[in-house]
Structure 1
Amino acid sequence: MHSNSQAQDTTYYFYQALPYGSQANYDPFNVIINGGYGVLQIPNYTDRRIFEYPYRSWWKDLWCDIGNPVNTIDQFGWKRFLSTEIFPTSLNIEKQQFFPNYFLHTLGAGMHYRATMEWYRHHRFPHPALSSVVSMTAYHLLSEMVENRNNKLTTVDAIADLYFFDPLGIALFSNEKVCRFFSQKLELAEWSNQPAYNFNSRNLENMGQFYVMKYPLTSDKRWKAFSHFGLNAVAGLSRKIDQERSLSLGLGFTVKELTPAQEDQVGRALTARLALRAGAFYDINNSLMCSVVLSEIPES
């Protein structure tokens, strides 16, 4: 027990405190901004004046859905909820609301919980795990409010995220074996954007939360399968230039629009419309230094 507890207090799986690249930008505030407002990178979310949002009204709308989750699911339909939000039961994109739940809310948000906990620990905050849970709660509630803004229809997306997949991610990445597998075997890391505020337009710009995974394809580990995902899914190859530096190329899709699903019945469920996306990424020790992205839609 003593050795396991000591390992949890000293091992850093996802936050390395590197003084360069995406690792240098990592902190709880960055996570909340990139995660909470990440949906604004989708073109049909045109208003990015975040200091002018009616947050109180949006919170009331969100609470109508998550305040009594059983009643909300009763209205939406339990079978529909379980088959579209919880279990991967369909290849039809109109019924694949579960897809981001597994990759973004379980895998991505779970990693964020652990990385943020490690950040708090590194900076000697008391109760780093609790501090990370508080940060993750703020990030996820903000994200749900912004994504579902002005929606008056019954929706269960936030219920699946907040009550199922976000806690699942925290539980998984509280386990040392899970963290070791994803950080060492799959090289999971956060490669999010650098958000900025435009004082002329009063818009938030360049926000977005992204992740990367790599898996060795050769015995010398110079060539690796590469995946970059967030509100996109890009796959390709990564090649180590030397002991520390890597160049990765990928091709895939990005979300160009969130629209009501055609299979929608009572309430509202959203589905993604996709566009092509390609990217080149240069990193040092899995900390992103720069990237070039080509897409059919303009970048935020």
Structure 2
Amino acid sequence: MKITEHDSIFRLMSPKSCYFYFVFIFILDLQQLSAQEKFYFYQPKTIGSESSFNPLRMIFNNGYGILAANTRNNDITAINYSIGLENTWDNITSPIEHIGIYGWGNFFLGELIPTSYELKNAQWWPNYTNHLIGGGMLYRKTSEWYEFNGAPNPKLLAYINIMAMHLFNEVVENNSFKGTNIDPITDLLLFDQLGILLFNNERAARFFSSKLKMRDWSLQPSLNFANGELDNAAQNYVIFVPYPGSNRTSLFYYWGNNGIVGLSRELKNKDNLSLGFGLTLKDFVELSTTDGVRKVTTDLVWTAGGFYDRNGSLLTSLILSGTKRYRALLNIYPGILHIGNFSPGIFGALNKNNEATVGVSFSFLPVAISFSQ
């Protein structure tokens, strides 16, 4: 049988050669695994969102963030992890084959190049915001957390931690689908790696930390042990841009499962109040699953949010939206309320039917414990 040039490319990107790709990227990242010059993103505080940060909680927030969609069951025991892992692994170890099936034009114009702002053709947006910038910052913050806690090789541990988090996220998103799923190829092999390289650079880390004051304002994931449902999980970020002519007012952008834009005002003692409006995730919509190829976009709905932070550590937030699951979502972080020697975090949510869910979190636990009507 004649072997064409096209066939030879497929052989070059066989599963075995993809293992070498992973090794190459890993070694490339390791070139910058020197000691941190300073901490840019991790703040070892006892109050607010920063007091709750740890690598396990990050995995819950990032991995299960998709469960906020109306179309997804938030019972974590209903997720088909085995098929999710098998299909994700098949895609990332045979990327050229699956990109060919998906279509190279669709891949470049939908996943890589910002050519359209239509939702059905703007898969590139979360690739840049959530994976390149958000994931890169989380890698840097996690390495700082490991270094602060005296772990050896903090950047190496952070790399392993972050890639495990991203892989878990792709497994949950894939769920029971079998076939070509381009998302893990774009995310795991490209944008997640580029994000790590970007935030290993001191200038880039300093820019996002000092100039944009980028922070991790994630939620407090809460597990209802009675029914296996996970609520209030989302990996969220925020940046601030000084408002022209004012030393105390900034424009802010809060994103993750949503996108909220508004104004932030410095009050006193480095406390800040931020109010904004925007759009949030309502549903994931399957554009096409023909011929075993998956193409997904999002359906968005209105949202508005208020945030109160102290020097970048989020103390409390209230988010309203038109979603079915979270009509109102309140988070009060540890350090605000005190019960004896304990200072738990509290979360409360109302759904479209005004049914309430309440959760209690502690800084030392990766998930909160929740109860619902």
Superposition TM-score, scaled by structure 2 size:
0.76
- Aligned 8 A contact 2:111 2:124 in 1: yes
Is 1:101 the counterpart of 2:94? The answer is no
In structure 2, distance between residues paired with 1:80 and 1:209: 27
Is 1:28 the counterpart of 2:28? The answer is no
Partner of 2:251: 225
Which amino acid letter does the alignment assign opposite residue 45 of structure 2?
L
Kindly state the Cα deviation for residue 215 of structure 1 after the two structures are TM-superposed: 1.1
- Aligned 8 A contact 1:62 1:148 in 2: yes
User: Gaps (5+ residues) in structure 1?
Assistant: none
Partner of 1:150: 176
Give aligned pairs, total. 294
Residues 130-209 of structure 1: pairs in structure 2 closer than 5 A = 130-209=156-235
Is 1:13 the counterpart of 2:40? The answer is yes
In structure 1, distance between residues paired with 2:42 and 2:88: 32
**3-state DSSP class of the match of 1:261?**
strand
**3-state DSSP class of the match of 2:294?**
coil
In structure 1, distance between residues paired with 2:87 and 2:199: 31
**3-state DSSP class of the match of 1:269?**
strand
- Aligned 8 A contact 1:65 1:159 in 2: yes
Kindly state the Cα deviation for residue 86 of structure 1 after the two structures are TM-superposed: 0.8
Say which one has the larger Rg. Answer: 2
- Deviations 1:32-82 (CA, angstroms, capped at 9, x unpaired): 110011111111112x23245332222112122112111111111111111
Kindly state the Cα deviation for residue 221 of structure 1 after the two structures are TM-superposed: 2.3
- Seen in structure 2, the aligned counterparts of structure 1 residues 248 and 166 have a Cα distance that, compared at 3 Å, is same
Report the aligned-residue RMSD: 1.8
In structure 2, distance between residues paired with 1:88 and 1:27: 33
Is 1:235 the counterpart of 2:261? The answer is yes
Is 1:270 the counterpart of 2:278? The answer is no
**3-state DSSP class of the match of 1:268?**
strand
- Aligned 8 A contact 1:120 1:131 in 2: yes
In structure 1, distance between residues paired with 2:173 and 2:124: 16
**3-state DSSP class of the match of 2:262?**
strand
Kindly state the Cα deviation for residue 204 of structure 1 after the two structures are TM-superposed: 1.3
In structure 1, distance between residues paired with 2:290 and 2:126: 18
- Aligned 8 A contact 2:272 2:308 in 1: yes
Is 1:49 the counterpart of 2:75? The answer is yes
**3-state DSSP class of the match of 1:234?**
strand
Kindly state the Cα deviation for residue 10 of structure 1 after the two structures are TM-superposed: 4.6
Kindly state the Cα deviation for residue 243 of structure 1 after the two structures are TM-superposed: 3.7
- Deviations 1:100-137 (CA, angstroms, capped at 9, x unpaired): 00000001000000000000000010110010011111
Kindly state the Cα deviation for residue 266 of structure 1 after the two structures are TM-superposed: 6.8
In structure 1, distance between residues paired with 2:79 and 2:72: 13
- Aligned 8 A contact 2:213 2:239 in 1: yes
Partner of 1:280: 306
Which amino acid letter does the alignment assign opposite residue 67 of structure 2?
L
Identity of aligned residues (%): 38
Kindly state the Cα deviation for residue 9 of structure 1 after the two structures are TM-superposed: 3.0
Kindly state the Cα deviation for residue 91 of structure 1 after the two structures are TM-superposed: 2.5
- Deviations 1:168-225 (CA, angstroms, capped at 9, x unpaired): 1000000010011111110100000001110222211211110011111145520000
- Deviations 1:247-296 (CA, angstroms, capped at 9, x unpaired): 00010000101112379887111111110000000000111000111100
Partner of 2:140: 114
Kindly state the Cα deviation for residue 242 of structure 1 after the two structures are TM-superposed: 1.3
- Aligned 8 A contact 2:178 2:292 in 1: no
In structure 1, distance between residues paired with 2:120 and 2:246: 42
Superposition TM-score, scaled by structure 1 size:
0.93
- Aligned 8 A contact 2:135 2:195 in 1: yes
After superposing on structure 2, the runs of 4+ consecutive aligned residues of structure 1 that deviate more than 6 Å are 262-266
- Aligned 8 A contact 2:301 2:322 in 1: yes
Is 1:67 the counterpart of 2:93? The answer is yes
- Seen in structure 2, the aligned counterparts of structure 1 residues 273 and 52 have a Cα distance that, compared at 3 Å, is closer
Which is bigger in relative contact order (C-alpha 8 A, separation at least 6)?
A: 1
